[in-house]
Amino acid sequence: MLYSVRHRTTYRYDEPVSLSHHAAHLRPLDRHQQSCRSHQLVIEPLPTSIEQTTDYFGNGVMVFTIAGLHQSLIVISTSEVEMRPMTLDPSVGQAPWERIAAVAATPRDPADLVAAEFAVASPAADVTPVIQRYAAPSFPAGRPLIEAALDLAHRIHGEFKFDPTATTISTPTEEVLRLKRGVCQDFAHLMIAGCRAHGVPARYVSGYLETDPPAGGKRLVGADASHAWVAVYAGDGIWLEIDPTNDRLAGTSHVAVAQGRDYGDVSPLRGVILGGGDHVVEVAVDVERMLI
């Protein structure tokens, strides 16, 4: 599968900005099931300086600075990404979840040590008694890890309503649980916190999802959006990626861009500005399947 991805972000400021410094997580990952064939970033106004680097979690980051008065910022990311099916051994995820939690608690090899970092709370995926109680029915004693994780995703999908007006980036996970509504980011954070509450490492994956047009309708330009899902550690360096928003394992239609503890580690575009006053932001994403 080959996808063309175009992600346009526009900031418009009420007052001039004299200096801005930004970090962009927009280049799709290269990993076992996907390859980024090409990537281009167009920035207006032109940056004074720009540098491609890698963050702590292994994600590609473009860091740039704009020195000079401006009242808008436009960042256009275009990528071509090849996706490959991934076949898992039937034994993956069949160990009891308690065994995975024990491995994370006392890691003995490098892969387990990396996973252990994702077994503790993070700012946007806090581990609280309320969240532990919510997730507990999915984690009965001895249940295979994959069954526990999929059951938690299934419950979130069935019990929560997708509502882009209900939450913001800063809405606490417990508030999402109370509201029983939110967006993919909220559902991913809730699932991550529920897994971590039981000692199971889970990390946040940001990216894109190919969406289908309405029945009988045409595909709308800019109708897609950034997406988020969860990777749950299954031991031996293997992570199972699960999409609680859509109640399924992530597949070849899930294009991963970055992974971290939560949204705060992998936000597509963040920065610090001098001036600007209030601002509005517009985001348009297109994910289009290409012929190989």
The whole-number pLDDT of residue 89 equals: 87
The whole-number pLDDT of residue 221 equals: 43
The whole-number pLDDT of residue 210 equals: 84
Phi, psi of 65 (to 5 degrees): -125, 140
Inter-residue contact 62 to 26 (CB < 8 Å): yes
Q: How far apart are CA 209 and CA 48, in angstroms?
A: 33
Q: What are the tens digits of pLDDT across the range 32-73?
A: 899 999 999 999 999 999 999 999 999 999 999 999 999 999
Q: Quick one: pLDDT band at residue 150, thresholds 50, 70, 90?
A: very high
What torsion, rounded to 10 degrees, do the Cα atoms 266, 43, 83, 86 define? -10
Would the pLDDT of 133 be above 90?
yes
Classify each residue of 266-286 as buried b or exposed e, where b means 16 or more C-beta atoms within 10 Å of its C-beta: bbbbebebeebeeeeeeeebb
Helices marked H in the chain? 97-105, 110-116, 129-135, 145-159, 173-179, 184-196, 263-266
The whole-number pLDDT of residue 87 equals: 82
Q: How far apart are CA 34 and CA 202, in angstroms?
A: 20
Structure letter (DSSP) for residue 39: E
Average pLDDT score over residue span 140-152: 98
The whole-number pLDDT of residue 222 equals: 39
Q: Quick one: pLDDT band at residue 213, thresholds 50, 70, 90?
A: low
* Of residues 217 and 209, more confidently modeled: 209
Would the pLDDT of 223 be above 60?
no
Would the pLDDT of 141 be above 80?
yes
Cα–Cα distance list, 109 to 104, 119, 144, 203 (Å): 10, 16, 22, 19
What SS3 class is residue 189?
Answer: helix
Q: What are the tens digits of pLDDT across the range 75-131?
A: 999 999 999 988 888 899 999 999 999 999 999 999 999 999 999 999 999 999 999
Q: How far apart are CA 268 and CA 235, in angstroms?
A: 29
Domains of the chain: 2-83+267-290 (2.60.40.2250), 97-265 (3.10.620.30)
